[in-house]
């Protein structure tokens, strides 16, 4: 057997120790591990080489000043210091803090729940330095914001360290730690308003985990007896794969391009139940994507134990509903007169798919039939919220699109009379708006219940859900149709959702664009309420251009040059602007884009209602603020 001089860290990891005869070796230098002691296994470990001793001597003085600057606790024990070294922010974080971060991650990010906590916590407790530093940094980039009592550095500090490590190691051999780190950094970039970086990291994670799964499948095919011993690791691969799928759906967000992954055609098994996973038990059955249907008895009555499978399938349906709504809003769907799969048929198929997914869930997973507090008691509050948020958001976008279409058909004098439906439009519209109101109330209700129970959900997707619900609340404050509980209830829920979005901005930069947007929307609704009664019956109503001013980036930008008619009509009605303050477009918009709130209010009730329901006007990049430079970095998918 060939013996070589190597450091203890490389020898324990069973990897080749590359060096030039002097410490540190390349691996220790890359991950900033100190000290790196080179030893010859043929000599006594008590007599390390002279160069290694020099390296240790050089390393010792550098650590003393930092330790001396750390505070003392009540027992005169030296506390750990979060800013031990600028080059390695995770060097001195104690195991107890890392374990707390793992528990925080488990609760706050249920959609990326791929960690096997028993083995991870055991590894951290036994030797926390054995956990990959890039994994630890990625974990802390997401969790530090929720751990103020531990005096950690900012999430960006850990994210920057993780980025540098990933830049060096991305093209090394794939590993589970690296793939999971890429998923976490992708989530961080998305919440920070950098969707292009998030997309790239997510794609790298997807291809890396596919490579690992292929290797694992080949190994199990040739050595089936070894499967039981490696079952936990294989399940981590499976869960990471499906987390990549859910993340791909979130980042696609209704984009017109094809998804990287198609749920029905995937041959990777779905995650097993959490109990089997955590206890390392072989699952009695393994579901495949094709099994998630009413025709399969295997998937009936899925409880929160299979929450990751439930929410992943939900995101698959939601993102296709959002894409359909976006295409319908752009007028890109085919006419029902010349296409067998008409928008009406597509809508019906999506609705049926959504309700089938809901029917497969046990009643204990459905809100408000089951209280959020019951799941908080079991540690599943956040996952319970995600499952129901995805469902209610799907309802909102399905029915918002149909309500808009119905109102336009009813009130547009130039519409083709051949394009009709088999049901009464006005009656259907009433029922659809009632569903919109109920879904918006449930979004606010479940998040409020979790916050009151000490398990608040503060993530970008939850923020987006509140952003959409807030617009429905605002519509409820002026709608002639009855909001459940009355317009006062709608106003109360609007204020609660506004408060949530304001708090979200403290955690996620992407929330700022949503916060600005609802502020502008609120101004518009207040003006609409004060001027709606003053529209004279003799005026021909104009077309509110506000719906065209809310573009792909989820914020007020520039209105399209569609308001010239309103401008000319304004000249015919002098003095109307005197009572209404003028609304100015944000900086960067063309000069012609500015319009007054009085222009927006010159509508009859039906047209006003149609235009107000356009909020929020969303596209495939709803996850980024307009000031992130995404439009310059990402090509037009159309």
Task: Kindly report, residue by residue over 299-352, the tens digit of the pLDDT.
Answer: 888 999 999 999 999 999 999 998 888 777 655 554 444 455 688 888 999 999
Q: Above 50 in pLDDT, residue 243?
A: yes
Q: Which whole number is the average pLDDT over 99-117?
A: 94
CA distances from residue 284 to 277, 298, 302 in whole angstroms, order as listed: 12, 11, 14
Lowest mean pLDDT of 26-35, 80-89, 386-395, name the range.
Answer: 80-89
Between the alpha carbon of residue 623 and those of residues 27, 356, 382, 462, the distances in Å are 37, 28, 20, 11
Please list, in sequence order, all residues whose beta carbon lies within 8 angstroms of the beta carbon of residue 155, skipping any fewer than 6 positions away: 140, 141, 142, 144, 145, 188
Q: In this predicted model, which residue has the larger pLDDT, 526 or 118?
A: 118
DSSP secondary structure code for residue 38 in this structure: E
Judge whether 508 and 190 are in contact, CB under 8 Å: no
At 383 the pLDDT is 96
Residue 634 has pLDDT above 50, yes or no: no
How far is it, in rounded angstroms, from Cα 424 to Cα 414? Answer: 19
What letter does residue 226 receive in the DSSP assignment? G
* The pLDDT of residue 544 is above 60: no
Note the maximum CA span of the chain.
101
Q: CA nearest 603: which of 613, 592, 593, 594?
A: 613
How many Cβ atoms are within 10 Å of 301's Cβ, its own excluded?
Answer: 13
409 vs 98: which has the higher pLDDT = 98
More confident residue, 365 or 86: 365
Q: What is the CB-side half-sphere exposure of residue 570 using CA atoms within 13 A?
A: 19
Q: Which pair of structure tokens corresponds to residue 42?
A: 């043929």
Tally of CB atoms within 10 A around 185: 27
Position 430 confidence tier, pLDDT thresholds 50, 70, 90 = confident
**Local structure of residue 283 (DSSP, 8 states):** P
Q: What is the pLDDT of residue 147?
A: 96
HSE-up (13 A, CA, CB side) for residue 432: 22
> Is 150 within 8 Å of 100 (Cβ atoms)?
yes
pLDDT of residue 406: 63
Residue 223 has pLDDT above 90, yes or no: no
Query: Which one is predicted more confidently, 51 or 579?
Result: 51
**Residue 392's pLDDT is what?**
98
- Please indicate whether residue 637 or residue 321 has the higher confidence score (pLDDT): 321
Tokens linked to 625: 């603020």
In a 3-state reduction of DSSP, which class is residue 367?
Answer: coil
CA angle 225, 227, 228 (to 5 degrees): 95
End-to-end CA distance of the chain: 60
The answer to whether the beta carbons of residues 624 and 553 sit under 8 Å apart is yes
Q: Is 93 exposed, middle or buried (0-12, 13-18, 19+ CB in 10 A)?
A: buried
Torsion of CA 511, 512, 513, 514, to 10 degrees: 50
Encode pLDDT of 531-542 as tens digits: 655 543 444 333
Q: In the chain, helix, strand, coil percent, each to 5? A: 60, 0, 35
pLDDT for the residue numbered 480: 73
Q: Give the per-residue pLDDT at 599.
A: 43
From the list 400, 530, 561, 559, the residue with the least C-alpha distance to 472 is 400
Q: Residue 529's pLDDT is what?
A: 74
Q: How far apart are CA 319 and CA 393, in angstroms?
A: 10
Is residue 37 within 8 Å of residue 7, measured between CB atoms?
A: yes
Provide the residue ranges of all domains of the chain, joining segments of one domain with +: 6-39, 94-260, 367-537+605-621
Q: Is the confidence at residue 589, as pLDDT, over 70?
A: no
Range in 273-287, 334-348, 603-617 the model is least confident about: 603-617
Mean pLDDT of the chain: 75
d(CA 425, CA 269): 43
Q: How far is CA 580 from CA 131, 391, 534, 538, 583, in A?
A: 62, 40, 12, 21, 9
Structure tokens at 330: 């752009």
Closest CA to 248 of 543, 523, 620, 611: 620
Could you tell me which residue, 242 or 327, shows the higher pLDDT? 242
Q: Which of 257, 265, 216 is nearest to 240 (CA)?
A: 216
What mean pLDDT comes out for the span 412-424?
52
CB 158 within 8 A of CB 595: no
Write the DSSP symbol of residue 586: P
On whether the CB atoms of residues 132 and 177 are closer than 8 A, the answer is yes
pLDDT at 125: 94
Q: Is the pLDDT of residue 154 over 60?
A: yes
Out of 38-42, 362-366, 577-581, 608-612, least confident range: 577-581
User: What pLDDT is recorded for position 496?
Assistant: 97
When pLDDT is cut at 50, 70 and 90, the band that residue 253 belongs to is low
Per DSSP, what are the bridge partners of residue 72? Answer: 78
The beta strands (E) that lie in 123-281 are given as none
**Tokens 């007020």 correspond to what residue?**
556
Closest CA to 16 of 172, 138, 136, 164: 172
Percent of the residues in the chain that have a pLDDT greater than 90, as a whole number:
42
pLDDT category, 96, cuts 50, 70, 90?
very high
Residue 36 contacts residue 24 (beta carbons within 8 Å): yes
- Highest mean pLDDT: which range of 258-272, 318-332, 497-511: 497-511
Instruction: Report residue 216's pLDDT band, with 50, 70 and 90 as the boundaries.
Output: confident
Residue 229 has pLDDT above 50, yes or no: yes
Six-digit token string for 626: 């307009």
| Per-residue pLDDT tens over the stretch 162-203 | 999 999 888 888 999 999 999 999 999 999 989 889 989 999
pLDDT band at 587 (very low <50, low <70, confident <90, very high): very low
């Amino acid at each position: 057997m060939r013996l070589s001089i190597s450091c203890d860290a490389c020898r324990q990891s069973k990897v080749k120790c590359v060096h030039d005869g002097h410490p540190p070796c390349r691996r220790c230098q890359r991950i900033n591990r100190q000290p790196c002691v080179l030893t010859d296994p043929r000599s006594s470990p008590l007599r390390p080489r002279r160069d290694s001793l020099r390296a240790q001597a050089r390393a010792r003085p550098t650590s003393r000043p930092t330790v001396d600057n750390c505070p003392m606790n009540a027992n005169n024990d030296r506390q750990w210091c979060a800013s031990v070294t600028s080059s390695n922010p995770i060097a001195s974080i104690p195991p107890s803090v890392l374990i707390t971060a793992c528990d925080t991650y488990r609760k706050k990010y249920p959609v990326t729940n791929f960690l096997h906590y028993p083995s991870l916590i055991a590894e951290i407790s036994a030797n926390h330095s054995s956990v990959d530093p890039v994994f630890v940094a990625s974990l802390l980039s997401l969790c530090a914001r929720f751990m103020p009592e531990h005096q950690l550095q900012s999430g960006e500090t850990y994210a920057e360290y993780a980025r540098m490590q990933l830049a060096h190691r991305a093209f090394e051999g794939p590993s589970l730690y690296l793939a999971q780190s890429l998923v976490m950094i992708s989530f961080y970039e998305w919440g920070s308003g950098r969707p292009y970086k998030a997309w790239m990291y997510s794609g790298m994670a997807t291809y890396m985990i596919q490579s690992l799964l292929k290797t694992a499948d080949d190994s199990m095919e040739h050595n089936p007896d070894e499967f039981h011993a490696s079952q936990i690791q294989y399940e981590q691969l499976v869960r990471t794969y499906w987390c990549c799928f859910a993340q791909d759906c979130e980042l696609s967000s209704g984009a017109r391009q094809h998804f990287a992954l198609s749920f029905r055609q995937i041959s990777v098994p779905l995650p097993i139940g959490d109990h089997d996973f955590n206890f390392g038990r072989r699952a009695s059955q393994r579901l495949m994507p094709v099994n998630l249907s009413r025709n399969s008895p295997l998937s009936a009555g899925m409880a929160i134990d299979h929450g990751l499978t439930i929410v992943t399938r939900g995101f698959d349906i939601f993102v296709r509903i959002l894409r359909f709504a976006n295409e319908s809003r752009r007028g890109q769907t085919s006419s029902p007169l010349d296409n067998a799969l008409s928008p009406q048929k597509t809508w019906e198929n999506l609705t049926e798919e959504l309700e089938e997914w809901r029917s497969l869930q046990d009643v204990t997973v459905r809100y408000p039939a089951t209280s959020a507090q019951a799941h908080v008691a079991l540690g599943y509050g956040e996952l319970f919220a995600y499952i129901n948020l995805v469902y209610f958001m799907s309802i909102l976008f399905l029915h918002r699109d149909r309500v808009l279409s119905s109102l336009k058909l009813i009130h547009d004098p130039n519409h083709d009379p051949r394009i009709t439906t088999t049901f009464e439009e006005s009656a259907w519209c009433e029922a659809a708006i009632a569903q919109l109101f109920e879904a918006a109330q449930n979004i606010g209700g479940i998040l409020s219940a979790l916050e009151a129970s000490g398990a608040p959900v503060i993530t970008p997707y939850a923020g987006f859900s509140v952003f959409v619900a807030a617009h429905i609340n605002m519509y409820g404050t002026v709608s002639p149709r009855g909001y459940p509980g009355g317009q006062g209830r709608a106003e109360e829920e609007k204020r609660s959702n506004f408060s949530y979005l304001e708090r979200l901005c403290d955690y996620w930069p992407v929330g700022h664009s949503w916060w600005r947007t609802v502020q502008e929307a609120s101004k518009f609704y207040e003006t609409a309420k004060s001027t709606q009664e003053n529209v004279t019956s003799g005026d021909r109503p104009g077309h509110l251009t506000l719906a065209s001013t809310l573009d792909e980036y989820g914020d007020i930008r520039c209105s399209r040059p569609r308001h010239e008619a309103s401008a000319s009509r304004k000249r015919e009605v002098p003095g109307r602007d005197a009572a209404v303050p003028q609304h100015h477009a944000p900086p960067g918009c063309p000069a012609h884009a500015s319009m007054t709130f009085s222009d927006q209010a010159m509508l009859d009730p039906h047209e006003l209602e149609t235009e107000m329901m356009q909020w929020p006007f969303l596209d495939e990049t709803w996850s980024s603020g307009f000031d992130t430079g995404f439009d310059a970095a990402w090509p037009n998918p159309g």
